[in-house]
């Protein structure tokens, strides 16, 4: 079962699970927001029971549903409530429903739950590093992690990722491609570091994890390597054949936002490798593959 199946990541998960060559024993139930309100306990329990009862063999629910309007959640009380319902309450409901039917759960979380390393250390972040969520979105996502672990202590996979962009919907890559055509120069933040992640690569990793014998736990999965938002924007310009130097670096203070962003959210792959899983491709290779496969990303 895939919840959040209408989003960029959910769409990639469903496409991968139902592609020609997928295991013939797989039975896939894809539920978008219109199909299931993941914040409704009765609806969740009913959907999970029907799904688990209709299948044979191991059952795994992959939760790709989330509220991601991080700035709106800081300024709008209704948005904050929606963020908490989708990111904290819903994962708990899904996990408890999975526990009732003996299903496992793969839950997608975020780099926002992590805190800074001590004394300004800069190295890839691993699951055991300090937590430090700032803002409604970050706190709601951490609460969701905790509820999944509590309900499914031996059958959960919490996967933190970062800087995800996909073939559908609004995202940073698409926005930079549009601005490349609209502006001569562009100022982009250069003091936030992260690991850009192509949603199709993340989907493949999540499916591999779901099918693996890896024990329950929390792991990180993101594009390999690191860059800044400015570096990612320059890479988008390069893919367009535009001069990357048209993208000018600036600091976070130049673009104040309601929700604080992590200055360092480069995710390591040690936990992923330790589970016997292949790490996601390097972010720059993934970007080139993404725009080659989906040239409409560069249409903005």
Q: Tell me the catalytic residues.
A: 137
Checking DSSP bridges between strand 60-63 and strand 2-3, what pairing results, if any? Answer: parallel
Helices (H) and strands (E) in the chain, counts: 11, 13
Burial of 146 (0-12, 13-18, 19+ CB in 10 A): middle
**273: which 2 tokens?**
């490798």
Question: What is the CB neighbour count within 10 angstroms for residue 253?
Answer: 8
Question: What is the CB neighbour count within 10 angstroms for residue 213?
Answer: 6
| In the block, residue with structure tokens 């013939």 | 24
Whole-angstrom distance, CA of residue 189 vs CA of residue 40: 39
What is the per-residue DSSP string for 163-190?
SEE-SSS--HHHHHHHHHHH-S-EEEE-
Whole-angstrom distance, CA of residue 234 vs CA of residue 237: 5
For residue 49, the SS3 value is: helix
Whole-angstrom distance, CA of residue 101 vs CA of residue 2: 16
In this structure, what are the phi and psi dihedrals at residue 259, rounded to the nearest 5 degrees? -95, 130
């Amino acid at each position: 079962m895939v919840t959040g199946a209408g989003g960029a990541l959910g769409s990639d998960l469903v496409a991968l699970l139902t592609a020609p060559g997928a295991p013939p024993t797989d039975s896939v139930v894809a539920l978008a927001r219109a199909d299931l309100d993941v914040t409704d306990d009765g609806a969740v329990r009913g959907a999970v029971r029907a799904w688990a009862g209709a299948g044979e063999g191991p059952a795994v629910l992959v939760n790709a549903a989330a509220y991601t309007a991080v700035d709106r959640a800081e300024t709008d009380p209704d948005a904050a409530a929606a963020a908490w319902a989708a990111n904290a309450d819903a994962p708990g409901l899904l996990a408890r429903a999975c526990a009732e039917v003996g299903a496992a759960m793969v839950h997608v979380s975020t780099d926002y739950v992590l805190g800074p390393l001590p004394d300004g250390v800069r190295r890839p972040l691993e699951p055991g590093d300090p937590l430090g969520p700032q803002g409604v979105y970050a706190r709601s996502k951490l609460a969701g992690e905790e509820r999944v672990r509590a309900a499914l202590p031996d059958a959960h996979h919490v996967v933190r990722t970062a800087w995800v962009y996909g073939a559908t919907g609004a995202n940073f890559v698409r926005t930079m491609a549009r601005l490349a055509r609209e502006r001569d120069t562009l100022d982009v933040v250069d003091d936030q570091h992260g690991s850009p992640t192509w949603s199709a690569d993340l989907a493949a990793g999540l499916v591999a994890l779901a099918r693996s014998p890896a024990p329950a736990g929390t792991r990180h999965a993101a594009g390999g390597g690191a860059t800044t938002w400015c570096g990612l924007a320059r890479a988008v310009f390069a893919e367009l054949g535009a001069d990357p130097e048209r993208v000018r670096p600036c600091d976070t203070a130049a673009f104040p936002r309601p929700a604080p962003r992590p200055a360092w959210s480069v995710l390591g792959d040690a936990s992923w490798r330790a589970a016997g899983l292949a790490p996601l491709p390097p972010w720059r290779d993934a970007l080139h593959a993404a725009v080659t496969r989906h040239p409409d990303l560069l249409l903005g």
